[in-house]
Structure 1
Amino acid sequence: MFQTIVTFLIMPFAPFWLYGDMAANMNGKNISNIEICNTSDCKSSSSEEKFFDSEKLERHSVFPIDSVLASGLVPTRKENAPDLKIWAGSSVAIDADTGTIIHYENGRKRTQIASLTKMMTAILVVEKMKDLNEEVVITKEAVNMVGTVVGCPTSTFCNGNRMYAGEKVRAIDLLKVMLMNSANDAATALGIHIAGTSEGFVEMMNKKAKSMGLKDTNFCTASGLEIDGKEEECFSSAYDIARISAYSLKYDIIWEIMKIPDGKFYSTDGKYMHDLKNTDILLETLPNCIGGKTGFTPLAGKSLLLGAENPAGKHRIIAVILNDNQRWDDMRTLVNWVFDNHKWQ
């Protein structure tokens, strides 16, 4: 609550009652003006690149080399294709199977990413937990999280049952409510369960990021909430988020969850019921959407990552837009632009 009150006081244009992934957003201060790539790295949106080109990211750390050789098909922009115009602070679209960059705008600009952080949390949950039916005890620290939590889409609006300290919930159900509702308490509970402490889990997250060659990322929390007074230490980039999301495609369970529109789950003793509600409205309005994750804090602004496939279902892309008040319309524009103006050959 303290964090929420402070946010309200220092950011009058981002009311604290709207603080959550399902909330509307007004622009706030972020660190997206910090550009870490040089001119040769920051290509225009009309460029196509490979992750392994030049000083780009080490592609083999994200995709198996043999997958490229087996596919042999990369997206190429059609002749006379129009330029893309969207309003995101930064944005990237990649071919998920080959790593080819299709769209790139300020892709390596460091900024807060809010709940898009939960993609890395989900990866570690799947990799570190042998049995997702394992019981997780909800800690007091998890229950005290602000922003979007189980039963509460925003900090001051609740429309369902909250979790309580000591409640036992299956890891798979916490994974669902973390990815669908974007629940910060679920992310925190999972992190503590896996690493023993929130700090220990953040260390695991940053170690994983380093092993993937993510040069523009430093995680602060499992949930994506910034730490008061250390906000500028919590960052990533559209470029790195695209890589994390592409990496996560190897785990079907993550993307299967992100396609679920709604549902319910119960504590393991059956006494407490909680609602599941996906925050990604493009699931219902974009036919080729295969899943996505929303993000919002007053500092990060509205963000969205999305997986999509072409109408024939043969090619998948990952698209990321950060700090964009028109994220739904712009994501739809971005995805349609990719498939309308590129061919795989």
Structure 2
Amino acid sequence: MKISFLAVVGVAAMLLAVLAAPALARSAKAGAHAVAKSVRHVQVKPKARLKAKPKARPWARLEKRKAAAEPATAARYRTFSPQQAKMAALRSSAVLIVDPATRQVLYQKNAGAVMPIASVTKLMTALVVIGAGQALDEVLTVTDADVDRLKYSSSRLRVGTRLARSQMLHIALMSSENRAASALGRHYPGGTPAVVRAMNAKARELGMQRTRFVEPTGLSSLNVSTPEDLARLVVAAQRQPLIRRYSTDPGHTIAQGRQATLYRNSNRLIASPGWHIGTQKTGYIAEAGRCMVLHAKVRGRAVVMVFLDSHGKFSRASDANQVRAWLVRARR
């Protein structure tokens, strides 16, 4: 009987499989035993419960941001109380609160920033005009030269109106009348260029090192200063009785021909019974935002407040009220 080659090969393979089966079984059993043994010795630790991070205090976050942004000045922010840190939410870009008697800085925010100051300029205009000793009853005439061709702002003071110098000062300080301020500058000895030189000279005299004036109304964004410099200006203005009286008058009526024009104070805080303001000035142009400076008394303590570039029509008054509330609490 003939046996084929393929049959022989098949038989041989079967024999090898039979002979190898016990060894494979032993090997598989040993492997399974090792795996089981290793599993028994594994200690599964319970999942650790994640602890919630304590919520950072608002003023702590402020300190961290300030320290990162201004390493050189971060130290002063570490001394802020919670109430002071809350005041960092003021909507004015630059703020300075200072005690004029002791020169103690009570709060500051970008106090050294050089910024446009808008009609706060008129405080310096009034200061140099009064200082020139010109007759307050001298009649000045509003001309076409006083019309605003820089911002094209409106005015209730008509070309051709004739008013005493005192009345021009009155409505310039109280209601921020631009044409009145321009007329005051034109009638200064030597005209507008001379009054601008006098304003810059007075700034240097007062130690306002980063202040510059180019015209007397504040319509130019090139009229710049800092909260620190403006605090010096406010203190100087407070010494002038006319500036105190005119800047805080609630309203004033002037005659233009046969018509009477009522001007009201541009500062809404003047009408607030909770405020005792000695000197004030507001200002606004697009480049400067809403600005306001005050010399006031809070619980019998004199304080100077400077707010520059406040965002929102009522935000500068809101900022001032917030500062006043903090000062009231601090004096208890």
Please, what TM-score do these two structures have when normalized by structure 2? 0.70
Pair 1:253 & 2:242 matched: yes
User: Which residue, out of 168, 171, 175, partners 2:165?
Assistant: 171
Which position in structure 2 is the counterpart of 1:295? Answer: 283
List per-residue Cα deviations over 1:97-126 (Å, max 9, x = no partner): 332221111111001010011111111122
Contact 1:42/1:106, CA 8 A, preserved across alignment? no
CA distance in structure 1 between the aligned counterparts of 2:198 and 2:238, rounded to whole angstroms: 20
Q: Does 1:322 align with 2:317?
A: no
Give the deviation of 1:286 after TM superposition.
5.3
Query: TM-score of the superposition, structure 1-length normalised?
Result: 0.67
Q: CA RMSD in A?
A: 2.6
Structure 1 residues 338, 276: closer, same or farther in 2, change over 3 A?
A: same
Secondary structure of the 1:177 match is helix
Q: What is the CA distance between 1:321 and its match in structure 2?
A: 0.6
Q: Does 1:199 align with 2:193?
A: yes
Name the CA shift for 1:45/1:236 in 2 (closer, same or farther; >3 Å): farther
In structure 1, what is the Cα distance between the partners aligned to 2:135 and 2:232?
Answer: 26
Task: Please list, as runs of the form range in 1=range in 2, the aligned pairs for 1:90-105 lying within 5 A after superposition.
Answer: 90-105=94-109
Q: Match for residue 139 of structure 2?
A: 135
Deviation by residue 1:138-193 (Cα, 9 ceiling, x = unmatched): 23211345555541xxxxxxxxxx3223x321111101110111011111100111
Q: Residue 87 of structure 1 corresponds to which residue in structure 2?
A: 91
1:11-50 aligned at under 5 Å gives the runs 44=76
Q: Does the 8 A contact of 1:133 with 1:170 survive in 2?
A: yes
Which residue of structure 1 lines up, in the alignment, with residue 298 of structure 2? 310
Equivalents in 1 of 2:127, 2:77: separation in Å?
29
Sequence identity percentage: 23
The count of corresponding residues between Structure 1 and Structure 2 is 256
CA offset at residue 82 of structure 1? 4.4
Does the alignment pair 1:115 with 2:102? no
Runs (5+) with no aligned partner, structure 2: 1-69
2:175–2:263 Cα contact (<8 Å) kept: yes
Q: Residue 27 of structure 1 aligns with which residue?
A: none
Query: Partner residue of 2:30?
Result: none
Higher RCO (CA < 8 A, seq sep 6+) = 1
Shift of 1:41: 7.2
Name the counterpart of 1:244.
233
Secondary structure in 1 aligned to 2:230?
helix
Query: Residue by residue, what CA displacement relative to the aligned partner does 1:280-327 show, whole Å, maximum 9, x if unpaired?
Result: 00112252231421110010011111222123xx32111011111221
Equivalent-residue separation in structure 1 for 2:244 and 2:71 (angstroms)? 35
C-alpha distance 341-122 of structure 1, shift in aligned 2 (>3 A): same
Q: Pick which of 271-280 and 322-331 moved more.
A: 271-280
2:271 counterpart of 1:276: no
